[in-house]
């Protein structure tokens, strides 16, 4: 699979996918998009990297770290990281849901605020739904990537 | 349009059922995926694909607003949820079928241990 | 108002706590058990505040995300939901306590505890939600957790069983979705209270309710699949054998009851008001209930026989219990069918009351027995009657708990099972007294045969596993005292429910009333858009 065409395409396509994924995540609270789609797209970009360069590329090539070649897929450092990402995302999502309870409104209630006078943007909408979406995003990315790397390593 | 969608939904259900009843485990998983998608297409058609109208987009109608030429947003939200669920289930089914294949050393589900 | 969401938050908190503490097993086990206890506490608090306490409103609703009904997701805690939540909590707490001691260390670390609480969360959501599509979502949450548990030990037999369970349930979910989509297109809403109101005055809202009967039947098929009623029972023995035994206790005690609950909630609270003329052979009536009654009756009666005979022929304790739970769900389905067939409100209430009391009894007794099977397996390494024998002498406390469980299953007074069986038979005889109806005498005979079969397989399990001379395996066994303590506590609960039956009956009566009182349900939710189209 790891042909020169594959690798060259991946180099070009992966950054584009990531940018689209982030933009979908950011606009998801009131336009098409959201945490799930953004997460799936991000995972697709990573999957492309895995297919083109192999599972250890992120560790060796990007982060410049050593990899223990004998370790099973469950002990892989990136896989452990993905699992931590799931927990973090879940915690963020539940916390934003429960935050409403402190203000006396029901669980999962969302709110928003307009911030004026931001340079370049002039006006920007900050929503609590975005924070919830970030939680969902983390869960989706972590879950899909840990499945991919464990199943892929088999 | 409605007739076309009915035909599509019908053939998807037929194909899914056919695949689920095969012996080959990979085909069974494909069948599950197609059945889930058939249900999703079916739900989309439930939200009126022809043209917008108060009777057909109940959520907008009850809000009291004018109903423009729009499709029903509710069914799309439902389908989005259903897609996420079937995505997870299919992923699990794939992983499980691989594991079951390893354990039973056969892709023929009728030969698996009972 | 937050009482409604408290049980869900407790389960969510337990998922997070067990995930965070995953690298420290002892801490994780403590967090998991504490989470289970917190869940039970939240349920008790919510039920007391909403239904049982002095001056309680009887039904409390909660709009998730502050979106008004019928657009947002409504959670409704009324008598029926409260009763079922108590049933679930009564199984969940001992199940998690036994899990910590029973399931081996390595396997507990592989997401066992978060998934257990995910299962609890799914059950809780299904009992609380007042939205049809949301019910589907909670079913899926529950199923996701149970899929992993059935595939948990992962040998050839278990992965095959898990795959079959998965395929069957995905097909069931697709059926559910088709029914949900059809109901939305027909009625124009997914909120159960709104649906109930619109169906009752279909003409005023411009609805043609004719498809509702068929769609309701699709839902019945899905729920019967989850409840493991004949002819959808074939997944039960394989899945229960494959799942870890404390999870089998949860599956039999709590998730099966979700199927029964959904049948009761949708048919009696939502569809009962619809006027749909039925022109089918044998079936005659004007509501979907008229079709439910004969179908569910046949399913229930067949389950009683199938489960009874299967259990008598089972070679091991877990298989015996799995078949037994098919039969016992039949005992729950029959009074529901009687209630559906009933003409009078009083008989309807008697039927539902019997079903609910039996559901509570079955959850407690079958939970106790599955957990005992876990302890026996933990001590001797097997559940086959051929290798067991004489456990009574080896561990008197364990055997006493099992004895109480079996006696309750048989229906010996004053245990909880006596009242369950008594009320079910009472419902059938009341039906027989009001006229020939649906062949009530034949049903009575089958139920008595079922009860007889229960005695046969219970004594078989007792003689095979606990009586007589000690086998070699039993001689070498050391029974875990902590598990036995939990079992004795559950056995004490079984006795207590029987001895202090009056408050339980009142609670179940409130639950049956809540299921039948469509007006109160609609009023509690008060969906907007009340004006007719």
CATH of the domain at B82: 1.10.287.3510
Does A147 contact B95 at a Cβ distance shorter than 8 Å?
Answer: yes
Nearest alpha carbon to residue C483 among C370, C382, C385: C370
What pLDDT score was predicted for residue C533? 39
Tell me the β-bridge partners of A126. A113
Instruction: Enter the ipTM.
Output: 0.90
Q: Give the Cβ contact number of residue A69 at 10 Å.
A: 6
Q: Does B66 touch chain C (CB under 8 A)?
A: no
Does C177 contact B82 at a Cβ distance shorter than 8 Å?
Answer: yes
Cα separation, C489 vs C93, whole angstroms: 11
Give tens-digit pLDDT for C397-425: 999 999 999 999 999 988 999 999 999 99
Q: Write out the DSSP string of C463-498.
A: HHHTSSSPPHHHHT----HHHHHHHHHHHHHHHHHH
Delimit the domains of chain A by residue range.
Answer: 4-153
pTM reported for the whole predicted model: 0.93
- List Cβ neighbours of C502 (8 Å cut-off, separation of 6 or more): none
Determine which of B38, B41, B46 to mutate to test the interface with C (most C C-beta atoms within 10 Å).
Answer: B46
Q: What is the DSSP letter of C66?
A: G
Domain coverage including residue C74: 6-521
Does B98 contact A36 at a Cβ distance shorter than 8 Å?
Answer: no
Asked if residue C457 has pLDDT above 90, the reply is: yes
Out of B80, B84, B95, closest to residue A151 by CB: B95
pLDDT band at C291 (very low <50, low <70, confident <90, very high): confident
What pLDDT score was predicted for residue A15? 94
C74 is a domain residue: yes
Q: Does B84 touch chain A (CB under 8 A)?
A: yes
Out of B42, B58, B99, closest to residue C159 by CB: B99
Binding partners of B (≥3 Cβ pairs within 8 A)? A, C
Domain coverage including residue B7: 2-111
| Segment among B47-51, C195-199, C209-213 with least mean pLDDT | B47-51
Give tens-digit pLDDT for C234-252: 899 999 999 999 999 999 9
Cα separation, C365 vs C417, whole angstroms: 8
Cα separation, C191 vs C101, whole angstroms: 42
Asked if residue A1 has pLDDT above 70, the reply is: no
Contacts B114 to C, Cβ<8 Å: 157, 160-161, 238
C529 is a domain residue: no
| Chain B residue with the nearest C-alpha to that of A35 | B84
Number of compact structural domains in chain B? 1
| Chain B residue with the nearest C-alpha to that of C182 | B46
**Mean pLDDT of the region C60-77:** 87
Q: Does C27 touch chain A (CB under 8 A)?
A: no
Dig out the tokens for C527 from the structure: 């969906």
Out of C8, C12, C66, closest to residue A105 by CB: C66
Q: Does B96 touch chain A (CB under 8 A)?
A: no
- Cα-Cα-Cα-Cα dihedral sign, residues A30, A31, A37, A39: negative
Q: Does A57 touch chain B (CB under 8 A)?
A: no
Q: Which helix (H) or strand (E) holds C76?
A: strand C74-77
Number of compact structural domains in chain C? 1
Q: Does A151 touch chain B (CB under 8 A)?
A: yes
């Amino acid at each position: 699979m790891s042909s020169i065409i594959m690798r060259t395409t991946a180099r070009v396509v992966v950054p584009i996918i990531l940018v689209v994924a982030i933009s979908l995540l950011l606009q998801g609270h009131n336009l098409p998009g959201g945490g799930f789609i953004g997460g799936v797209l991000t995972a697709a970009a990573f999957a492309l990297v895995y297919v083109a360069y192999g599972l250890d590329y992120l560790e060796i090539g990007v982060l410049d770290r050593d990899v223990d070649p004998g370790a099973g897929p469950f002990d892989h450092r990136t896989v452990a990281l993905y699992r931590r990402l799931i927990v973090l995302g879940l915690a963020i999502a539940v916390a934003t849901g429960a935050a409403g309870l402190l203000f006396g409104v029901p669980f999962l209630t969302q709110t928003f605020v307009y911030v004026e006078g931001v340079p370049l943007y002039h006006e920007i909408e900050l929503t609590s739904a975005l924070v919830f979406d970030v939680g969902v995003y983390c869960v989706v990315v972590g879950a899909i990537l840990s499945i991919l790397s464990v199943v892929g390593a088999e | 349009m409605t007739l076309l969608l009915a035909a599509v939904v019908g053939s998807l259900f037929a194909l899914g059922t056919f695949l689920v009843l095969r012996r080959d485990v990979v085909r069974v998983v494909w069948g599950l995926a197609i059945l889930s998608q058939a249900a999703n297409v079916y739900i989309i058609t439930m939200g009126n694909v022809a043209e917008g109208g108060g009777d057909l987009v109940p959520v907008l109608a009850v809000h009291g607003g004018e109903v423009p030429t729009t499709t029903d947003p509710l069914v799309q939200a439902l389908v989005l949820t259903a897609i996420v669920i079937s995505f997870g289930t299919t992923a699990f089914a794939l992983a499980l079928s691989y594991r079951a294949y390893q354990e039973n050393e056969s892709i023929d589900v009728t030969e698996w241990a009972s | 108002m937050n009482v409604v969401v408290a049980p869900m938050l407790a389960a969510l908190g337990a998922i997070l706590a067990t995930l965070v503490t995953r690298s420290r097993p002892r801490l994780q086990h403590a967090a998991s058990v504490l989470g289970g206890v917190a869940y039970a506490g939240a349920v008790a608090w919510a039920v007391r505040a909403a239904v049982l306490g002095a001056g309680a409103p009887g039904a409390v609703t909660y709009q998730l995300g502050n979106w008004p009904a019928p657009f947002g997701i409504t959670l409704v805690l009324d008598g029926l939901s409260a009763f079922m939540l108590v049933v679930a909590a009564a199984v969940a707490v001992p199940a998690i306590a036994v899990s910590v001691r029973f399931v081996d260390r390595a396997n507990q670390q592989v997401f066992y505890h978060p998934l257990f609480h995910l299962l609890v969360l799914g059950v809780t959501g299904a009992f609380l939600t007042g939205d049809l599509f949301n019910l589907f979502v909670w079913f899926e949450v529950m199923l996701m957790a149970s899929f992993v548990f059935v595939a948990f030990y992962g040998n050839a037999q278990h992965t095959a069983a898990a795959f079959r369970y998965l395929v069957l349930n995905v097909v069931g979910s697709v059926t559910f979705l088709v029914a949900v989509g059809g109901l939305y297109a027909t009625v124009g809403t997914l909120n159960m209270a709104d649906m109930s109101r619109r169906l009752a005055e279909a003409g005023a809202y411009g609805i043609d309710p004719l498809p509702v009967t068929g769609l309701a039947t699709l839902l019945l098929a899905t729920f019967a699949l989850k409840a493991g009623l004949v002819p959808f029972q074939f997944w039960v023995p394989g899945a229960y054998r494959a799942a870890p035994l404390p999870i089998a206790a949860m599956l039999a005690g709590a998730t099966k009851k979700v199927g029964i609950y959904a049948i009761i909630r949708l048919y009696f609270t939502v569809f009962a008001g619809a006027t749909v003329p039925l022109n089918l052979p044998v079936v005659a009536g004007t509501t979907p209930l008229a079709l439910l009654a004969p179908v569910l009756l046949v399913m229930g009666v067949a389950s009683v026989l199938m489960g009874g005979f299967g259990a008598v022929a089972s070679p091991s304790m877990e298989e015996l219990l799995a078949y037994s739970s098919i039969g016992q769900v039949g005992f729950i389905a029959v009074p529901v069918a009687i209630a559906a067939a009933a003409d009078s409100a009083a008989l309807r209430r008697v039927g539902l009351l019997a079903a609910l009391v039996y559901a509570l009894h079955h959850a407690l007794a079958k939970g106790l027995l599955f957990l005992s099977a876990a302890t026996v397996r933990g001590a001797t390494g097997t559940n086959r009657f051929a290798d067991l024998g004489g456990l009574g002498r080896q561990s008197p406390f364990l055997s006493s708990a099992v004895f109480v469980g079996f006696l309750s299953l048989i229906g010996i007074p004053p245990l909880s099972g006596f009242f369950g069986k008594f009320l079910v038979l009472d419902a059938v005889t009341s039906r027989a007294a009001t006229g020939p109806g649906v062949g009530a005498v034949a049903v009575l005979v089958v139920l008595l045969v079922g009860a007889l079969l229960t005695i046969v397989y219970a004594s078989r399990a007792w003689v095979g596993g606990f009586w007589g001379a000690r086998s070699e395996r039993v001689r070498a066994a050391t029974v875990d005292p902590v598990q036995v303590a939990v079992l004795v506590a559950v056995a004490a609960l079984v006795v207590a429910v029987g001895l202090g039956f009056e408050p339980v009956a009142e609670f179940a009566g409130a639950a049956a009333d809540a299921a039948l009182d469509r007006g109160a349900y609609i009023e509690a939710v008060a969906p907007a858009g009340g004006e007719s189209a």
